[in-house]
A and B are shown apart, each in its own frame.
Chain A
Amino acid sequence: MDLHEYQAKELFRAAGMAVNPGEVADDPAAVRALAGKYGGRVVVKAQVHSGGRGKAGGVKLAAGADEAALHAGAILGMEIRGLTVRRVLVSPTEDIATEAYAGILVDREGQCPVLMVSAEGGVDIEEVAETNPEAIHKLRVDPRYGLMPHQAWELATRLYSDPALARQAARILTQLYAAFTGNGASMAEINPLISTGTGEVKAIDAKVSIDDNELFRRPAVAALRDPDSESEADAKARAAGLSFVKLEGNVGCCVNGAGLAMATMDLVKYYGGEPANFLDIGGSSNPDKVVAALEIITADPGVKVILFNIFGGITRCDDVARGIVEAVGRLEFGVPLVIRLTGTNEERAREILADAGLAAVASMDEVVREAVRRAG
C-alpha cells in the first residue's frame, strides 16, 4: 500500500526526523490560508500515488498566498497518470544548499533491509543506479541488530564531509530505519534530503510503501489508506480477498493461482487476444468469491467474454462448478462464459455445469483459443 507524501512525512516526524513543515488542503481557500500562515514563498504539491508529479505540472512554487491559491486551483482536480488530484501539500520553501538521497528497501538476495544513500539526490535514483552506480552507497542491515550507530555514521559521511552535517544525517538515517521497521514498510525514501544554507539537514520529500502483509496488525497504518486512490473494482476485490489487476483488453480472466493467472493472460495474448484483467480467486471455491469475481469482471464494459481457468488440486473442481452455477444464477450478464476445469473431481464438475447448460473443456489452450475467438 502506497502512502501519500504528507502521510509519509507524518510517519517520519513521529520518528523524530527533521522534516520541512507542511499541511494538506483540498481547496484553494484553505491553501491561501496556509500560505498566509507560513508567509513568503511556498511550494504547492499534488498528493497522488504517482511519480513524475513535477513534470506533470503538479508541483508549483508560489511567491505568496494569492499565487498559491491560484496554483492550487489548477492542480486540484488535475489528472496525473490517470489519478485525480484531490489534495495538495503546502510547505514553505527551503534554502537548499545540497540535495542527497536516502532510501530503504528489502533486498531479496540478502534477505534483509538494505539502506542506500547517494550524494546525488533530487533526481530519479533508478537513473543514477544505471548511469552512475558508484554514486550509490549500499548497506545491508542485519534485522536482528538493526541499523547500528557506526553504520549510520559511516553512510552519513558518504553524504557530507562536514561533521556537523554528517551527525544530523546519521540521526536521520537511524530515524528512517526506525520508521521503516516500525510501520511495516517495504520501502521508505527521502528524496531529496537537503542541507540548508544555515547548516540544517532535513527531509523535504518522502515516499513510503507499506507491506500489505503488515496491515492486519497495524490498524493505524491501515487507516491511512486513501479510498479515492483505489478504483471501485480494486476496493471490491480487496474486500472479497481476490487479487485483481485491471488491464486494457476484452477477455475477462478468472483463474485459481497467481502463476496460472499470469500464464493464462500470456496465453490470451499468444493467441492474438488481449486480457482484460488479472484475477486470482485463490484456493477457495467459495461461491461468494466466484460471484464477487464475476461482478468485478462484468462491471468492465470492455469485457466481451469471460474465461475461467481452474486447475483443481486441493481446490475441488466440483466446488468451483457449483460456485459458477450459483454466480450465473445470481447475476445477469450479457457476455459468454468459457470454462476450463481440470483436476480433482473434474467429471462431477462437468455434470454440474452440464445440468446448468454450461460446458467445460479440459485444456488451457483450447479454452483460451475459444475465448479469443468469442471476443472477436
Chain B
Amino acid sequence: MSIYVDGTTRVIVQGITGRDGSFHTRQMMAYGTRVVAGVTPGKGGRRFDGPDGMEVPVHDTVADAVAETGANASVIYVPPAFAAGAIMEAADAGVGFIVCVTEGIPVLDMTRAHALARDRGCRVLGPNCPGIICPDKTTLGIIPGSIVTRGPVGLISRSGTLTYEAVHHLTRDGLGQTTCVGIGGDPLIGTSFVDCLAAFAEDPETEAAVMIGEIGGTAEQEAAAWVSANLDIPVVGFIAGRTAPPGTRMGHAGAIISGSSGTAAEKTRAFEDNGIRVAKRPAEIAALVRESLGG
C-alpha cells in the first residue's frame, strides 16, 4: 500500500499551462498518474495535450475542475506570488490533498494559507517540496519515476535531490519503497515528519522508514520522540548540514541554525537517543535499512 495517495487518486494540476506545470504534468501522466484536469485562470475551455494522445480539460477555477471531474488532489506549479492563493483556492474547493511544489512563497502568505487549509480539513504537502511518489501507482510532483521501485521502505525527506540520492541507493540495493514523500524545505510546511510516520505506521506494507532531515527547526527532534513512543517499525535517519555555519540560510528557507537550536549534532543526538540509527553518509542509508530489516 501507499500513504496519502494511490492509483485511484484523481489529480488536478494548478498552473498546468505554465512551463514547469506542463512539463511535469506530462511526466506524471506518462508515469500513470490519473490527471483529470488542469486549472489556469483565463484559459478555461482549452485542452491540455498529454503524452500518448492523452488530453485533459483546462478550467478557469479549481471549483469548476472539481465539480466536473471529482478530483480529490491537486499539484501546484504556480509562481511564488500566486502560490499561496492557489493553495487557498484548492482548500476552498474541498480538495483534500494539496501538493505545492513552488519555492519562494512569502512566509506570511503561508501562515494564512496553512490556517485556511487547517480550517477546511485539507492536507498540504510542502511548499517547496518535490512531492510524493508511490512506485508503479502514481506520482504527484517532480520526483523522477526512474529512480524508485516498489518495496517495503517508507521514505520522508525535507530535501529534493538528496532524496533522489537516498532513493537511488535503496533501489540499487534492492530495497524498494511503498511511498517516498518530500515534505519540503520551507520553515512552514503542511505535512510533518510525524504526520508521515503516523501514516506509515498504519500501512501494513511499510516495514521500515527512512527520515532525511537537515539543519533548522525542531521537526526531527519531535519526530524522534514520536518514533520512540509510537512506532514499531525500524527507522533509519540522515541529517544534512553538519558543516553548516550557524545563522546562515543554506539554500532552503528553513535550513538555518538559530542560536544553539537546529544543529545537525542536536538532531543526530535526538535520533540516536530514540533508537533511530543515523547514517554518516547517504550511501550508508541502504545498508542500515537492510540491517534493521534483518539482513
Contacts and interface: CB of A to CB of B under 8 A. Distances in A.
A133 B115 CA distance: 28
Interface in A132-177: 142-144
B107 A211 contact: yes
Contact of B253 (A212, A342, A364): A212
Contacts of A142: 115
A106 B188 contact: yes
A135 B251 CA distance: 34
A262 B283 contact: no
19 contacts: A113-B111, A181-B108, A213-B104, A255-B161, A258-B252, A259-B212, A259-B252, A260-B165, A260-B240, A261-B251, A262-B162, A263-B162, A265-B244, A266-B243, A278-B244, A313-B144, A313-B161, A314-B144, A342-B168
| Size range of the chain A interface in the assembly | 35 or more
B164 interface: yes
B137 interface: no
Contacts of B231: none
Given A184-B106, A259-B240, A275-B243, A344 B146 contact: yes
Nearest to A105: B258
Interface in A211-239: 211-214, 216-217
A333 interface: no
Given A213-B107, A266-B240, A267-B281, A259 B144 contact: no
Q: Which 9 A-B residue pairs are closest in the complex by CB-CB distance?
A: A259-B159, A258-B251, A257-B161, A259-B162, A262-B240, A243-B251, A260-B161, A143-B111, A313-B144
Interface in B98-121: 104-108, 110-112, 114-115
Nearest to B283: A365
Contacts of B115: 111-112, 142-144
A293 to B, nearest CB: 13
A191 interface: no
A256 interface: yes
Interface in B215-232: 215, 217-219
Interface residues of B, number: 62
A374 to B, nearest CB: 19
B251 A343 contact: no
A108 interface: yes
Given A258-B185, A266-B241, A344-B146, A245 B250 contact: yes
A11 to B, nearest CB: 15
A280 B251 contact: yes
Interface string A362-375: 01110000000000
Nearest to A278: B250
B56 interface: no
Interface of A: 106, 108-109, 111-113, 126, 142-144, 181, 184, 186, 211-214, 216-217, 243, 245, 247, 255-263, 265-270, 275, 278, 280, 311, 313-314, 342-344, 363-365
Contacts of B165: 260, 263, 311, 364
B149 interface: no
B243 to A, nearest CB: 5
Given A186-B107, A262-B250, A257 B162 contact: yes
A262 B80 contact: no
Interface in B186-223: 187-188, 212, 214-215, 217-219
Contacts of B34: none
B44 interface: no
Nearest to B112: A143
Contacts of A109: 218
A261 B242 CA distance: 12
A280 B159 CA distance: 12
A270 B249 CA distance: 22
B168 A258 contact: no
A262 B112 contact: no
Given A186-B107, A213-B104, A342-B168, A311 B244 contact: no
Contacts of A365: 281, 283
A363 B286 CA distance: 14
B164 A258 contact: no
Contact of A313 (B142, B214, B241, B264): B142
Contacts of A256: 161
B253 A213 contact: yes
Contacts of A270: 280-281
B217 A108 contact: yes
B168 A311 contact: yes
Contacts of A278: 244, 250-251
A270 B163 CA distance: 20
Interface in B253-269: 253-255, 259-260, 264
